[in-house]
Structure formats: structure tokens, C-alpha cells
């Protein structure tokens, strides 16, 4: 059974990014959002262990019932420590009217404290931000673990990453697939669907919504029309329904859809989506522990893994297809355009890449293979610039 010794001291990059922001002269409220079980709380505690000023950490999950009075108490405890002490509120979404209360406290004394809030329900967090805290916060998105991170922390190789990658909490169960599956299904995926989504958004048929998740996961790295996806659900509906489902899963950091790249925006909006799941583990849990033995599925999950790590970067991500020619991913950042072709052992021609470069001569061609994926994952921007 795999263990945790290397991961105990492993620090994800968001910790130093957050530290830099807090060390600025007048930082805004720092809000951490992201998937469940990817180390948000662990990272915060690592930061607190070396933070040079006074700090106060409080977790709303420790109480059976929390209201705005509890949040006021935490603010008062922090403000009595010293000027510009650090206040961290974990599971803040469990506090009733948390965003309105925090807005009121911040507006009265915007330079009194450094403030960090985080929680396990991304949709609840995001709703509170848009309703009350506009202009007062910076968002820091914490993503699933990359191949480079899991390689550093747990000595992952590529095959292990393509089967189990994304959730470090599941590492201890990898030698028993049924137990690993149960942990991922019940402790992570069902928590997201049941607690984060269904309790906060209107979904008419929860069973259909759960079925859609499994279907979407099986279409990883595939372009497929909303009409065809809808046809696989055991119910009647319209394409707006499946679009809404994908939107909810995207907001919860599970499944995303990529639009087709085009300089004409109406063609982009009307395109069939390319499904991208947030990490490889979500594919394997809906297939089998031997998923990599199927060369076609192995190729798709590797392509998805590349796309998932590209999507973690700032910028925009698309795919491209025209008259039977395709490019796996089109990444746009700071005016630069990268045409990314994924070579995974499946039979694929380079005609699509050549055709795209003829149409968009300023684009940079990038080839990612299993052999150079580790280099790409370690520093994606440098890898793209060198290509």
C-alpha cells in the first residue's frame, strides 16, 4: 500500500502565492476556492506555521450551528491581537450571511486585518462573492494536483497518474481498487454532487443529474454534441438541460467543456463541446483499474490529462476542428496562440496541425507526448515558450 511520508512536508505552489499577496501593503480579502480534498486547509496551516505576525484560525465546521454572531466573534479575536493580524475562516460557507457580514466588517476597517476565507463548497463560495463582496476580494483558484506535484510528493509515474491522479487523499487506497473507488465516490464525488450542487442549485431530477456525470466522464477528451449527450440520458429534455448540467459540474471543479476555436465568436458559441474532466481519477473510477490496457482509452485519458493541466493555466483554452481536420487544444494567453497536439501512441496524423498553422500563421506549434509530459507539467509556460 502506498503511504504518505513524502507528502507530509510537500507544499503546493498556491501557498507561496498567497503569502506574497498577504505581504503586500494593503491586500484585499483573499478567497480560496477549488475542488474538495486537494489540500486547501493543509496549505493554509503550512502558511500559518511560518507567518511572521499574529494570526487567528477558525473553522466553521467545528460548530453545529453558526450565524453571523460567530463570525463577528472571530473578527474581534483577531483584531485584538495586533494591527494587520491574519484572520483565517475555514468552511466559511457554513456561516449564514457570511459574505454580507464580512462586507460590513471590512468596509468599517479595510486595513485592520489580513483576511483569508476558504471552504469546501465552491458553488456556495462563489455565490456569496458575486452577491456581496464585489471589488473587495481576490480569488485564488486551487486546482487538482498535477502530475508534477504527485510525482514530487508520492513518486508517481505516468501510468499511476493516468489511473489515480488528482486526489492525494486517495493515495493510501490505491492497492485496493474497490476501496479507492468507494472513497472517491462517497467522500469526494457524492459530497460535491449532494452537498455542493444539489443543495444550492435547482435540479429537477437528481438521479438524472448523477447519471449525466458518469456519461460525461466516459466522454473525456471527446467532442460530442449536446443533442447526442442528451440522447444517452434516460429521460426527455432539451439541450439546455445538458448545458446546465455541465455548467454546474464546471462550477464545482469536476467537468468542463471546451468551445471550438474561431475568430468568429458566434461560431465558437454554437460549437459542439469537447468534454474535459478535471483529473484522471474521475475517468478511471467510471471505467476499471485496467483502463490503461485499452490503447484507445489510454490515449484519451492522456489527452485529457494534458488538457486538464492546460486549463489550470491563466488564459483561454479551446479545441479546433474544420472539415475533418483537428487540433487537440488551442491555448491563448497574453496575445500568444499555441496549437497543442497530443501524441499518445494512437494513430493520428499531423494534417490538422499543419492546416491550423496555415490558417493562423502566428500560432506556435506544440507537441506533447508521454515522454515530455513530465517536463510540461513541471513548468507549462516555459515548456510552451520553448516549443
In the predicted model, is pLDDT for residue 250 greater than 90?
yes
Determine how many CB atoms are found less than 10 A away from the CB of residue 161.
Answer: 27
Residue 19 scores a pLDDT above 60? yes
C-alpha 21/C-alpha 41 separation (Å) is: 17
54-59: average pLDDT = 96
Place 302 in a pLDDT band, splitting at 50, 70 and 90: very high
What confidence tier does 290 reach under pLDDT thresholds 50, 70, 90?
confident
Grid coordinates standing for 115?
483576511
Residue 66: pLDDT band with limits 50, 70, 90: confident
d(CA 380, CA 373): 9
Phi first, then psi, for residue 223 (nearest 5°) are -85, 125
Indicate the pTM of the whole model.
Answer: 0.91
91 contacts 59 by C-beta, under 8 angstroms: yes
What's the rounded Cα separation, in Å, for the pair 39 and 154?
14
Can you tell me the distance from the alpha carbon of 255 to that of 244, in angstroms, rounded to the nearest whole number? 12
All domains in the chain, ordered by first residue: 13-141 (3.40.50.300), 147-386 (no CATH)
Residues 263-286 have pLDDT tens digits of 776 555 667 999 999 999 999 998
Report, as an integer, the average pLDDT of 178-192: 95
DSSP state letters, 58-78: EEGGGSS---HHHHHHHHHHH
pLDDT at res. 348: 67
Amino acid at each position: 500500500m502506498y503511504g504518505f511520508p513524502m507528502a507530509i512536508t510537500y507544499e503546493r505552489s498556491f501557498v507561496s502565492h498567497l503569502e506574497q499577496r498577504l505581504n503586500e501593503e494593503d491586500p484585499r480579502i483573499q478567497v480560496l476556492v477549488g475542488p474538495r480534498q486537494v489540500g486547501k486547509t493543509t496549505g493554509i496551516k503550512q502558511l500559518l506555521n511560518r507567518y511572521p505576525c499574529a494570526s487567528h484560525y477558525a473553522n466553521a465546521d467545528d460548530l453545529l450551528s453558526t450565524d453571523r454572531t460567530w463570525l463577528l466573534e472571530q473578527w474581534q479575536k483577531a483584531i485584538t491581537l495586533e494591527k494587520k493580524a491574519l484572520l483565517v475562516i475555514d468552511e466559511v460557507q457554513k456561516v449564514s450571511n457570511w459574505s454580507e457580514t464580512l462586507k460590513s466588517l471590512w468596509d468599517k476597517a479595510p486595513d485592520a486585518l489580513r483576511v483569508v476565507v476558504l471552504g469546501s463548497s465552491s458553488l456556495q463560495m462563489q455565490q456569496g462573492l458575486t452577491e456581496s463582496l464585489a471589488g473587495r476580494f481576490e480569488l485564488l483558484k486551487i486546482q487538482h494536483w498535477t502530475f508534477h506535484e504527485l510525482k514530487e510528493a508520492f513518486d508517481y509515474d505516468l501510468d499511476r497518474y493516468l489511473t489515480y491522479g488528482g486526489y492525494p487523499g486517495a493515495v493510501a487506497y490505491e492497492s485496493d481498487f474497490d476501496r479507492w473507488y468507494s472513497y472517491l465516490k462517497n467522500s469526494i464525488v457524492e459530497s460535491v454532487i449532494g452537498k455542493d450542487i444539489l443543495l444550492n442549485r435547482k435540479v429537477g431530477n437528481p438521479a438524472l443529474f448523477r447519471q449525466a456525470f458518469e456519461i460525461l466522464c466516459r466522454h473525456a477528451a471527446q467532442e460530442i454534441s449536446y443533442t447526442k449527450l442528451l440522447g444517452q440520458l434516460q429521460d426527455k429534455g432539451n439541450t439546455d438541460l445538458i448545458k446546465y448540467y455541465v455548467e454546474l459540474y464546471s462550477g464545482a471543479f469536476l467537468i468542463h467543456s471546451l468551445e471550438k476555436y474561431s475568430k468568429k465568436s458566434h461560431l465558437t458559441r454554437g460549437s459542439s463541446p469537447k468534454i474535459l474532466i478535471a483529473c484522471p481519477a474521475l475517468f478511471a473510477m467510471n471505467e476499471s483499474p485496467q483502463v490503461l490496457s485499452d490503447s484507445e482509452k489510454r490515449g484519451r485519458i492522456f489527452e485529457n490529462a494534458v488538457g486538464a493541466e492546460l486549463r489550470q493555466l491563466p488564459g483561454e483554452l479551446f479545441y479546433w476542428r474544420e472539415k475533418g481536420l483537428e487540433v487537440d487544444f488551442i491555448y491563448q494567453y497574453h496575445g500568444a496562440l499555441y496549437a497543442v497536439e497530443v501524441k499518445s501512441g494512437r494513430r493520428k496524423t499531423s494534417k490538422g496541425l499543419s492546416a491550423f498553422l496555415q490558417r493562423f500563421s502566428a500560432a506556435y506549434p506544440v507537441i506533447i507526448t508521454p515522454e515530455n509530459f513530465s517536463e510540461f507539467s513541471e513548468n507549462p509556460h516555459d515548456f510552451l515558450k520553448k516549443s
